Every structure is written in C-alpha cells, then in structure tokens.
C-alpha cells in the first residue's frame, strides 16, 4: 500500500493516505470503483468552465445558421468529454485520505466541512487535491516497485525439482 503523501489543505500541509479500508468506503460512498472516481475527477476541464450553450437567437439565421450548428456541435463535444465528477468524489476522497493517514474521523469531518463544504468556491479548487490523493493510492510513488528487495536481505534461491 502507498505511503502517506504530504499535500496542502486548509492552510497547512497535511498527510493523506487511502488504505484498502478507505478505498472500499470510497467506492461505497461514490457508488463506483476508485479508478472510476479518479477518471471522473480527471474529467474536470477548467478551460471549459465559461463555455456556454449557444443561443439560436444570437445568430443571424437562428437554428439553421451554419455558425450556430458548428458552435452547438463544439459545445456538445466538450460537454460529452468531461465534467462528470460528483461532489462526494471530492469530499470523500479528501476526508478518507485524512483518516487513512491518521486523522481522527471527527477531525477529518471538521476539516472537510470547514475547507470544502463551508468555503464558497473551494469545491472545484479541491479537485486537484482529490486527484493527487487517489492517484497516489492507486499508483504509488514514482520509483516504488512492488516486491522491491529490502536493504540487507537476499532473495531466496529458486529450487529446481
């Protein structure tokens, strides 16, 4: 399982970690596996946040205007590519990441309430944090190999029969 990761949250650097128990709770809370939650979080497209649905009355020929049709197709494509994240994808990833690293459940609830729920506009600002926490749990640290030999220990010799 991945080690803790230090990330800024609530004005200070905190430790986060998702163990198997937290990953199971996350999938129950979000009704999706951890990889799907990560995919949903990564679908956020900040460059499209001000991209609005075209209005036919803004075009010379209305709904039949070629520019309207083109703009509507572009709008539909961008909307279909992402933005499927859910509030609990962010909240529960952060909350459970704090718990997995040793924060008490009540303290993690207070922190998430204060810095996500009660902070207007900070929900989207915490998408990157949730992505980092979940990605670290699923992928681990760069260079950290599964089954890596510990210093001073030798691999057992293979026997042939």
For 8-46, b/e burial (b = at least 16 CB within 10 A) is ebbeeebbbbbbeebbebbbebbebebeebbebbbebee
pLDDT of residue 98: 98
Instruction: Provide the mean pLDDT of the chain.
Output: 83
Decide: 124 and 87 in contact? Cβ < 8 Å: no
Write out pLDDT tens, residues 67-115. Answer: 888 888 877 766 655 567 889 999 999 999 999 999 999 999 999 999 9
User: What is the spatial distance between Cα 131 and Cα 42, in angstroms, rounded to a whole number?
Assistant: 7
Nearest by Cα to 114 from 101, 133, 98, 102: 98
What's 143's DSSP letter?
Answer: T
Least confident of 3-12, 36-45, 51-60, 149-158: 149-158
Contact yes or no for 45/81 (Cβ under 8 A): yes
> What is the maximum span of the chain, computed from C-alpha positions, in angstroms?
83
pLDDT value, residue 70: 86
Residue 79: phi, psi to the nearest 5? -65, -35
Mean pLDDT of 129-152: 75
Q: Residues 39-70: pLDDT tens digits?
A: 888 877 665 555 667 889 989 999 899 988 88
Predicted TM-score (pTM) of this structure: 0.69
* Domain edges within the chain: 5-48+85-139
């Amino acid at each position: 399982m991945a080690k803790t990761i230090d990330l800024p949250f609530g004005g200070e650097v905190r430790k986060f970690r998702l163990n198997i128990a937290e990953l199971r709770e996350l999938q129950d809370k979000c009704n999706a596996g951890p990889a799907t939650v990560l995919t949903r979080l990564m679908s956020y497209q900040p460059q499209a946040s001000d991209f609005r649905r075209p209005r036919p009355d803004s075009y010379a020929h209305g709904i039949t205007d070629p520019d309207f049709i083109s703009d509507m197709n572009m709008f539909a494509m961008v909307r279909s590519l992402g933005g499927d994240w859910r509030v609990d994808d962010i909240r529960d990833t952060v909350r459970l990441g704090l718990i997995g690293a040793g924060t008490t459940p009540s303290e993690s609830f207070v922190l998430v309430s204060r810095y996500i729920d009660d902070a207007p506009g900070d929900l989207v600002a915490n998408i990157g944090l949730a992505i980092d926490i979940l990605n670290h749990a699923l992928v681990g640290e760069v260079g950290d190999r599964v089954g890596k030999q510990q210093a001073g220990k030798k691999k057992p010799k293979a026997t042939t029969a």
